[in-house]
Chain A
Amino acid sequence: MPPLMSVSTDFSSSLEEGRCTLRFSGSLTLLRIRKLSEQLEEVEADKLIVDLSEVERMDTVGAWLVHKLERDRGARITGASEEQQLLIDHVARADMPVKVKRDYESPLQRVVGEAGEAVITTGQTLYGLLGFFGALIISISNILRHPRRFRFNAVTQQFEVVGVRALAIIGLMSFLVGIVIAEQGAVQLRQFGAEIYTINLIGRSSVKELGVLMTAIMVAGRSGSAFAAQIGSMKLSEEVDAMRTIGVSPMEALVFPRVFATVLLMPVLGFYAAILAIIGGGIFCWISLDIPPITFVQRIREVVPMTDLWQTLIKAPVFGLIIAMAGCFQGLQVQGNAEEVGLRTTTAVVQGIFLVIVLDAFFAVFFTEVGWL
């Protein structure tokens, strides 16, 4: 009986006395591996002989394929050149159990796990922030006892970064917010013929709430994130550790100037934002509602009570403290890789803004109870 022959583009197989010979030719490389492995699936014979004598090029993937035939189907290899045999042996030596996939977790397990982790992280963060606040107070008392440790240069630099450089953007934002409030208020109040109350709306909302709240959000986005990123990258490059070994406290050198500058500047920026919002609203009233500036200013003086300003000036430093602390705290939590810096920066901003708004709600209730309507 003549031997059965079937020729494909990549290898020929011949059946002889119950033994199947696979004769590979050309190059046995990654480029052709997909087709080859599909075709090899179809070869069903058991006693395989792999003939490599016509193979010109073989890479590790080709060697892997041959090794698998040898391992799984007991193929015998013939015609391999010395180099090819070396390569096959090398690959065979690398054939050991290697875990390629992460362990499987069912979605339910993962969701529950993540929820649990989130709760734990939140608890740890709050606990950490509390500890951080304590450390900050200790460092403040240290600075008070040794005033020479007050870093004048660092503080002035933070004044500039947090305060002066933020003036333009906070001013513009507040000015526009003032216009928006005036515009929206006027449209509604016009229906009752009470356009003049637009001034009350602008004055009271800017001074009492919006000025300081918008400023807090802007400072959290601008400075809180910068604190986290700066301190985070210093942590990564071991600058913070170097500081500690030299005997410089990172709390005093890095955290205090930032917190101090933010706490001090928040009321200033908040007040500035309120004034700019009033100016924006005033211009809208002048142009759109024909209320002359003189009348506007007089009316503002009548309707905005002093307690509104006190509220802003009391809230602002607290907001500043929260934002700066969240930024510095998250920065100091960075460890591992650069990706962490990004994550921590985001967390710092989100945490800062969230806590500011929660506290603002508390303040609102408190001031109402106190009678500062």
Chain B
Amino acid sequence: MRREEPVIEVRGLKNSFGPQVVHDGLDLEVKRGEIFGVVGGSGTGKSVLMRSIIGLQTPDEGEVEVFGEPMIGRDEEEAKHVRRRWGVLFQGGALFSTLTVAENIQVPIREFYPGLDQELLDEIAAYKTAMSGLPGEAGAKYPSELSGGMRKRAGIARALALDPELLFLDEPTAGLDPIGAAAFDQLILELRDALGLTVFLITHDLDTLYAICDRIAVLADRKVVAIGTIPELLALDHEWIQEYFRGPRGRAAAQRETEGAHA
């Protein structure tokens, strides 16, 4: 695949729930190797956009291509080989509650590569666990025995189980304390650099946006109103964007980022 070809391409997406139209004519392109942030007010359909791309929600109209392959209307068997090239972290981690963390990580591997011997599976689960920054004893624990932050890390470990090229993250830092959130940002950056991931990231966390996102898409009025780096977005004259980035929290995050860069 050529480097310029977009990893995700969404054209003319329309989603509605009854009379309520969430997206109408939404376009989007995510390039290979970037960390792509999606922001928008509550109810602008950020999660619905992600669900449309990964095929959990069938849109009314529009096209979605992932790795250059059309995703809408594909049957499950055909979509499977695309699915194994991405990993998804849901908001609450969505770990299988009856399995330990290590078993959770092994689920996708068993599904796509049956017949691997248990020893190797355990080794893979072990280094994925460590790679996600979980402590050594976490592998044998059940999700209910983990804290919220650890559950998210375990979720990442499972999302990374098949060495995906593309990672979807739905509000990864929501509900984490600032230290945990910063560590999580760092983890995502590291993983991107080490594994060459493309990351599709939904977030409300301004610090995350400043710290790790290469480009940001702003959802409003049922479509993407702007895509660009933060300086590019700041130069735009859009009321919501200005309020979002120039509000007290936005300014504080920007300041922290510049201070961080000088330090």
Known A-B contacts A60-B163, A95-B127; A102 and B140 likewise in contact (beta carbons under 8 Å):
yes
Main secondary structure of the interface of B (DSSP, over half): helix
Q: Mark A74-98, 1 if CB is under 8 A from B, else 0.
A: 0000000001001100110111111
Set A34, A93, A96: member contacting B116, Cβ < 8 A: A34
Does B227 interact with chain A (Cβ within 8 Å)?
Answer: no
Once the chains bind, are A100 and B131 in contact (CB under 8 Å)?
no
A205 within 8 A of partner (CB): no
Assembly CA distance A243 to B138 (angstroms): 35
B57 lies within 8 A of chain A by Cβ: no
Q: Contact: B124 with A64, CB < 8 Å?
A: yes
- Give the complex CA separation of A101 and B115 in angstroms: 19
CB-CB nearest in chain A for B190: A90
B181 at the interface (CB under 8 A from A): no
- Inter-subunit contact A100/B144 (CB<8 Å): no
- A29 nearest CB neighbor, chain B only: B163
> In the assembled complex, which residues on chain A have CB atoms less than 8 Å from the CB atom of B163?
29-30, 59-61
**Contact in complex: B113, A30 (CB < 8 Å):** yes
Residues 103-141 of A, flagged 1 when their CB comes within 8 A of B and 0 if not, give 100000000000000000000000000000000000000
Which chain A residue shows the least CB distance to B137? A99
**How many Å lie between the Cα of A165 and that of B127 in the bound state?**
56
A98: contacting residue among B115, B129, B195, B196, CB under 8 A: B129
Does B193 lie within 8 Å of A86, measured CB to CB? yes
The CA of A364 and the CA of B194, in the complex, are separated in Å by: 75
Instruction: Tell me the total A-B contact number using a CB cutoff of 8 A.
Output: 84
User: Does A368 touch B at the CB level, under 8 Å?
Assistant: no
Q: Is the CB of B194 within 8 A of A30?
A: no
Instruction: Tell me whether A100 and B122 are in contact (CB under 8 A).
Output: yes
Q: How far is the CA of A91 from the CA of B115 in the complex (A)?
A: 23
A96 neighbours in B (Cβ, 8 Å): 130, 136
Pair B195/A87 contact, Cβ less than 8 Å: yes
Closest to B131 in A: A94
Nearest B-chain residue to A34, judged by Cβ: B116
Q: How far is the CB of B135 from chain A (nearest CB, A)?
A: 9
A245 at the interface (CB under 8 A from B): no
Complex Cα distance, B122 from A338, in Å, reads 28
Given the contacts A59-B163, A337-B144, A94 and B127 also touching, CB distance less than 8 Å: yes
A101 and B122 contact, CB distance less than 8 A: yes
Known: A34-B116, A337-B97. A90 touches B137 (CB 8 A): no
CB distance from A172 to the nearest CB of B (A): 37
Asked if residues A30 and B162 are in contact (CB atoms below 8 Å), the reply is yes
B residues near A17, Cβ cutoff 8 Å: none
Q: In chain A between 26 and 77, which residues have their CB closer than 8 angstroms to a CB of chain B?
A: 29-31, 33-34, 37, 59-61, 64, 68
Query: In whole Å, how far is A84's beta carbon from the nearest beta carbon of chain B?
Result: 11
Which residue from chain B places its CB closest to the CB of A97 in the assembled complex?
B136
**Chain B, 115-139, CB within 8 A of any chain A CB:** 115-117, 120, 122-131, 134, 136-139
Instruction: Give Cα A60–Cα B127 distance, bound, in whole angstroms.
Output: 9
11 A-B contacts (beta carbon < 8 Å): A34-B120, A61-B163, A64-B127, A87-B195, A90-B131, A95-B127, A98-B130, A98-B136, A99-B138, A100-B100, A100-B126
The 7 A-B residue pairs whose C-beta atoms are closest, nearest first, are A59-B163, A98-B126, A90-B194, A94-B130, A94-B131, A100-B102, A94-B127
Q: A30-B109, A30-B163, A60-B131 are in contact. List 12 more A-B contacts (CB 8 A).
A: A30-B162, A64-B124, A90-B190, A91-B127, A98-B102, A98-B126, A99-B137, A99-B138, A100-B102, A337-B97, A337-B144, A338-B97
Residue positions of B touching A, CB distance < 8 A: 97-98, 100, 102, 109, 113, 115-117, 120, 122-131, 134, 136-140, 144, 160, 162-163, 190, 193-196
